[in-house]
Structure 1
Amino acid sequence: MSKDVYVYDITGLLICLGRQPPLAGSPPGRKIYLSLHRSRQLRTLSTGTQLFITESFHRDKAQAEAHDKFREAYWKNVHGIILEVVKKLILKGLIMKELSSIERNLNILFPQSYKNTINKFQLFMEIEFNNYQINLFNEESLFDNLNGFPQWCYLKYLVDINKEKQQMPNIVERHDSNGYIDSERVKRGLLFGSLADGACVYFDLEDDFSIWEYWLDDGSIGKIADNFDEILEYGKIIDFE
C-alpha cells in the first residue's frame, strides 16, 4: 500500500511525497516520487511536474519486517531533506515564471532595471537613497504567504485593516502632502521592499511604477521616487548577499 505525505512550500505549491510499488516488469524495489501540483491560487504554471528517485532493496521474507521498519524511520527523516534540495533546484525558475504571469495577468511590465537588480542577489539587498534605506525583498520572500496574501500584493490586506484610521474609508491619506489617493489604487500597488523603520515600499501601477512608502502605524503613504531607475542612479547599494 502506498503512503503519501502532502505539504505546501512557500510558493504555494502542493508537494506530494510518497512511495509507489514498481510497475510490472520493472526491477525489484520501489520508486520514491515527488509530485508538484499547483494550488488554486496559483494556476498559471503547468501541472503534473514529477521527479523520480529510485531506491532498490533486495530482501527475503525473513528481512521484510526489519526493512519496513527501517524505511519508515528513514523516510520520516529524509522527506524534509528532499524538500530543501528540490526547492533549491526549482524555486528560482518557478518564481521568474510567476513574475511573468503577474505581468500577463495584470497587463503590465515590471521595470527592466528592477528585474535585472533582483537577479543580482539571493538573500537581501540594501540601497541608500536620499534619507531612505530600502531593503529589497528577494525572489523567494516576494511570494511569502501573509494572512492569505502573497507578500507582493499584501497592500490589499493592509489598506483594509487601516481604513478606519483614514478620514474616509475609500481614501488613503498622504503624509508627504495634504492630499489623499483612492484606496483601490493603493491596493493595486506591488509591494517589493521595506524601509529601516518597517514601512512598506511599493510600485504604484497607476503612476508609471513610481515608488511609494506605506506607513503601518497610521496607514498613510508618501512618494519616494518617480521610478526605480532614479533609485539606482542616485542611490547607493550598501549591502547585499
Structure 2
Amino acid sequence: MEVCRCKHGDMDGDADVARVAALMAEPARAKVLMALADGRSLPASLLASEAGVSPQTVSAHLHKLLDGGLVTVERSGRHRYYGLAGPAVAAAVEALARLAKPEPIRSLRQSTRAAALREARTCYDHLAGRLGVALLEGLVRRGALIRTDGLEGTERRPDDPLAQQLPDGPYALGPNATSVFEALGVDLATQPTRRPLLRFCVDWSEQRHHLAGQLGAAIATSLLNRHWLHRRPHQRAVYLSDKGREELEQLL
C-alpha cells in the first residue's frame, strides 16, 4: 500500500472566514469598504472623511485591509489610490448590507443619501438599485435578453441567495441583443472574453435581479461616458440626467 507523504504545509485547510469577518467588522473599515464598493479607487484622505476618522487612523485601517487581501493600492505620482481587490469583495459587502439592520437616520442628509442609494447605485462596476433592476427589465422586454426558466421579468427565484452574484442566472442573449445593446453603446462583438459576458445579482434593496458581468459593466461605462448617468460626489449613488432618462425610456 502506498503511503501518503504529504506534509501538513502542502495542504489547504478551511477558509479563514473569521479573519475576513473581523476585518469587515470594525466600523471605520466597514465604511471604507462601502465607499470603495462602486469599483473606483480613492485616496486615503477621502476615505478618512468617509469613515469619519483621522488620516493616521485610516492609514492603519488600510494597512490591515491590504494585508487581509480585501483592497489593493496603486501609486500615481505622489498619491496612492485604494480600491477593492475584486468583485468578490464587493459582493460580500453587498451581502452584508442586505443582512445588516439599517443605522438610525438622524439627519436629512442621511435620509437623502439612503434614498439615493436605493434608487440607483453602482455595485462594483455595474448598476444596482431600482435603476439596475429597471434596466434589466427593459432589456428583457425589448428581447435583448430572454428569461430561460419560464418565469417573467426580474423576479428572484425562491432559492436565489440574497445580495449575491448568481452562479446560474436564468437569462440568455435574445433575438434583439445586437441592436439593443448597440443602441446603448455596447458592441457585443468587441467584448473581452476574460470575464463572463452575462452575470446577474439579486439586488439587496429591491430583492430582484440586476445585470452584472461584462455586459453590466459595459452598459454602466457607456452611460457614464455619454453623460446619461452621473456619479454623486463622494458616494456610490448615481443618477440619470434628463437626457439619459429620456433616451432610456425610448430605448427600453
Give the TM-score taking structure 1 as reference length: 0.26
Which has the larger Rg?
Answer: 1
- More RCO (CA 8 Å, sep 6+): 2
Q: Between Structure 1 and Structure 2, which shows a larger proportion of helix residues?
A: 2
Q: Between Structure 1 and Structure 2, which shows a larger proportion of strand residues?
A: 1
